Amino acid sequence: MSANLTLLVLIGVLTACGVYLILERAVSKMLLGMILFGNAVNLLILTVGGPDGEPPIGDGEDAEGMADPLAQAMVLTAIVITMGLAAFVLSLAYRSYMLTTTDDVQNDPGDAEVATQRDREDPED
C-alpha cells in the first residue's frame, strides 16, 4: 500500500496548525484550530481508508474493486460532529463577548491561588 506523501505532509501541517491555534487564549483562534484539526483527521481517515475504487453501492457481484464505505461514513459523521462543536464554541464565544467585551480567556483566580500555594510549599516535605 502506498500513500500520497504530499497529502500526508498536508495532514501534518494542518494538525500542527490546529494544535497551535487550540492552545491560544482567544476563543476565535481556538475555534479555527478545532476546525483545522477536524479537517486533518478527516483527511487522515480517508488516506488510511485505502486506495480509490468503484462506488460502494452496486449489485453486490464484484466487491473486489469497491472502495471501503466505512471510511466515508466515518468522515461524514466526523464532519457533522465538527460542525456541531463549532456551533457550540461559536455560541460560547458570543456569550463570552457579550459578558466581558473581549475574546480572550482570563485566568481563574482560584487556579492562580492554588498555583502560588503549590510554589510556596517545600518539595522536600
Name the stretches of the chain with pLDDT < 50. Answer: none
Predicted local confidence at residue 57, as pLDDT: 74
pTM (two decimals)? 0.75
Q: What is the model's pLDDT at position 48?
A: 86
45, 74 Cβ separation under 8 angstroms: yes
Residue 1: per-residue pLDDT: 53
pLDDT score at 55:
73
CA dist 24 and 28 (Å) reads 9
Produce one character per residue of 41-66: b if its CB has 16 or more CB atoms within 10 Å, e if not.
Answer: bbbbbbeebeeeeeeeeeeeeeeeee
pLDDT value at residue 77: 95
Report whether 41 contacts 117 (CB < 8 A): no
The candidate with the shortest Cα–Cα distance to 47, out of 79, 15, 72, is 72
Q: Is 104 helix (H, G, I), strand (E, B) or coil?
A: strand
